[in-house]
Amino acid sequence: METKKAVKHASKTEKTAVLEKPRNLPELVSEAAYSLFEKSGFIHGNDEKHWLEAEKMIFNRK
């Protein structure tokens, strides 16, 4: 019931986020890390750096 109460008082954007199918955290981090790899010009050797930066990006979203 608490979720329904929260959704009832949430904004339209927040409701959409709550009702969307939850995504797998490693999948989200992987996609963000690949995006960073892409932005770096596909330069190899920074996979750990990209992964950690992707985690920061994901966890700092509000």
Top-confidence residue, 2 or 30: 30
What is the Cα gyration radius of the chain?
16
Give the per-residue pLDDT at 27: 93
Whole-structure pTM value = 0.61
Give the per-residue pLDDT at 21: 58
Ranges of each domain in the chain: 23-62
Q: For 12-59, write each residue's pLDDT tens digit.
A: 544 444 445 557 999 999 999 999 999 999 999 999 999 999 999 998
Give the per-residue pLDDT at 23: 75
Distance from first CA to last CA of the chain, Å, rounded?
A: 23
Give the per-residue pLDDT at 61: 78
